[in-house]
């Protein structure tokens, strides 16, 4: 006999591992059918992700934006919302950080870096509030509004860049941000910066927020049942707006850390889809802050290791993309895996005292 909470955590872990194993197995079949060595491919994948300090640094570098976009989706889900708009919110965060950093080039690092980071969070949060307000005011479904606002956000930031902030040259980008606004490198020559600790710090704060604060409890209560929460005196509409504000802020931080830590400027179309991969990260992490960290590590490893597979195992980029897509597909369909698991295993569960 085991406690209900322990069973749920154990079941979630098993379901996630099964999803990953199925995806990698199907990936192995595709590699084999295509005439490549499965052993060489997966050895290159592991080595590329964890084979040296440099490779580990590249894995951690890839996971930083995924931490924030995964948290963005997870925060909204805690309130019963499905935020598909992290991509657009991330672009606003990136532009907001770049503009503030460029506007105050003489400010000391102890001032400029934090305010640039906060500017990005604020910009992403304001963009996230809009679909939250529409949901609370008119009932407009957040999936539809956030999807559409992705396109508006990306094109709007591009328009603002070209109109007001573009550096002369063939590429649509701002000028470089000052040194005072950049995250210091954690490991030299790897581009991995101290932004990784910002991500871990945000995870710790969110974990405490949802577990220890009345506002966090109210958000989760609305996510469990709108009607019951309202009966208990909680204002669901207010919680929806607050949830989307926090969700947008997390996505904005993804853009901020890219600008302040990696790109050192805002560039149009800089994201390869971090906002959308963040959905799979949140699902695999079961929408829990620390689960998001582990899921982001997995996807960071797949991205970093995928480059090694292409270089050393000669796996075509298209095939590598399919393998990554399989992982996303299976982790984004947890209920299918859960049904298969429940058909084969029966565990006695008792309620916690």
Residue 330: the pLDDT is 76
Q: What pLDDT, on the 0 to 100 scale, is given for residue 334?
A: 55
- Predicted local confidence at residue 5, as pLDDT: 62
Please tell me which residue, 169 or 342, carries the higher pLDDT value. Answer: 169
Centre a 10 Å sphere on the Cβ of residue 312 and count the other Cβ atoms it contains: 15
Tokens representing 238?
Answer: 């207010």
Residue 333: pLDDT band by 50, 70, 90 thresholds?
A: low
Torsion, Cα 142 136 248 283, to 10 degrees, reads -50
pLDDT for the residue 311: 86
What is the pLDDT at residue 339? 42
CA atoms of 42 and 31, how far apart (whole Å): 10
Q: E strand or H helix at 3, and its extent? A: strand 2-3
pLDDT at 352 over 60: no
DSSP state string for 150-163: HHHHHHHHHHHIII
Confidence of residue 22 (pLDDT cuts 50, 70, 90): confident
Residue 323 region, left (φ>0) first, then alpha (ψ -120 to 50), else beta?
Answer: alpha
Do residues 95 and 321 make contact, with C-beta atoms less than 8 angstroms apart? no
Residue with the larger pLDDT of the pair 102 and 316 = 102
pLDDT recorded at residue 351: 41
Residue 256: per-residue pLDDT:
98
348 — pLDDT class (breaks 50, 70, 90): very low
176 neighbors 265 (Cβ within 8 angstroms): yes
* Structure tokens, 95: 């532009």
- Is residue 15 a contact partner of residue 334, using CB atoms and an 8 Å limit? yes
- For 164-178, the pLDDT digits (tens) are 999 999 999 999 999
Give the residue, 17 or 56, on which the prediction is more confident: 56
Residue 202 in this model has a pLDDT that exceeds 50 = yes
Distance CA(232)–CA(226), nearest Å, equals: 10
Domains along the sequence of the chain with CATH: 53-296 (1.10.3470)
pLDDT tens sequence across 208-239: 999 999 999 999 999 888 888 888 889 999 99
CB 142 within 8 A of CB 237: no
pLDDT at 228: 82
| Mean pLDDT rounded to a whole number for the chain | 88
Each residue of 73-131: pLDDT tens digit? 999 999 999 999 999 999 999 999 999 999 999 999 999 999 999 999 999 999 999 99
Provide mean pLDDT across the span 55-64: 96
CA 176 – CA 205 distance, rounded (Å): 31
Query: Of 34-38, 65-69, 220-224, which has the strongest mean pLDDT?
Result: 65-69
The pLDDT, as a whole number, for residue 337 is 47
What share of the chain in percent tops pLDDT 90? 67
pLDDT of residue 6: 63
Rounded mean pLDDT, 260-285: 92
Q: Token match 């400027």: residue?
A: 265
- Smallest CA-to-CA distance from 257 within 117, 147, 352 is with 117
Rg of the Cα atoms in the chain: 21
Beta pairing partners, 173: 267
């Amino acid at each position: 006999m085991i406690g209900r909470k322990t069973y749920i955590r154990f079941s979630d872990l098993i379901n996630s591992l099964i999803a990953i194993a199925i995806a990698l197995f199907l990936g192995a079949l595709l590699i084999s059918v295509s005439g490549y060595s499965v052993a060489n491919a997966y050895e290159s994948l592991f080595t590329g992700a964890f084979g040296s300090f440099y490779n580990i640094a590249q894995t951690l570098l890839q996971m930083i934006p995924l931490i924030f976009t995964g948290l963005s989706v997870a925060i909204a889900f805690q309130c019963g919302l499905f935020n598909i708009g992290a991509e657009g919110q991330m672009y606003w965060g990136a532009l907001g950080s770049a503009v503030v950093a460029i506007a105050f080039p003489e400010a000391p690092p102890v001032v400029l870096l934090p305010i640039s980071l906060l500017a990005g969070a604020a910009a992403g949060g304001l963009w996230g509030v809009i679909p939250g307000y529409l949901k609370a005011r008119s009932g407009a479904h957040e999936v539809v509004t956030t999807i559409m606002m992705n396109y508006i956000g990306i094109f709007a930031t591009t328009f603002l860049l070209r109109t007001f902030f573009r550096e002369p040259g063939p590429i649509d980008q701002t000028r470089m941000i000052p040194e005072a606004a950049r995250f210091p490198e954690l490991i030299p020559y790897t581009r991995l910066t101290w932004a990784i600790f910002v991500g871990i710090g945000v995870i710790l704060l969110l974990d405490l927020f949802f577990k220890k604060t009345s506002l966090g409890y109210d958000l989760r209560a609305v996510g469990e049942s709108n009607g019951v929460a309202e009966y208990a005196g909680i204002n669901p509409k207010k919680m929806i707006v607050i949830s989307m504000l926090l969700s947008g802020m997390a996505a904005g931080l993804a853009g901020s850390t890219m600008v302040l830590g990696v790109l050192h400027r805002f560039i149009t179309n800089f994201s390869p889809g971090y906002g959308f991969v963040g959905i799979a990260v949140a699902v695999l992490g079961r929408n829990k802050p620390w689960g998001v960290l582990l899921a982001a590590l997995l996807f960071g490893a797949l991205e970093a290791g995928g480059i090694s597979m292409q270089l050393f195992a000669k796996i075509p980029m298209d095939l590598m993309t399919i393998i990554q897509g399989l992982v996303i597909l299976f982790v984004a369909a947890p209920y299918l895996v859960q049904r298969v698991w429940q058909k084969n295993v029966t565990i006695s569960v008792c309620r916690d005292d």
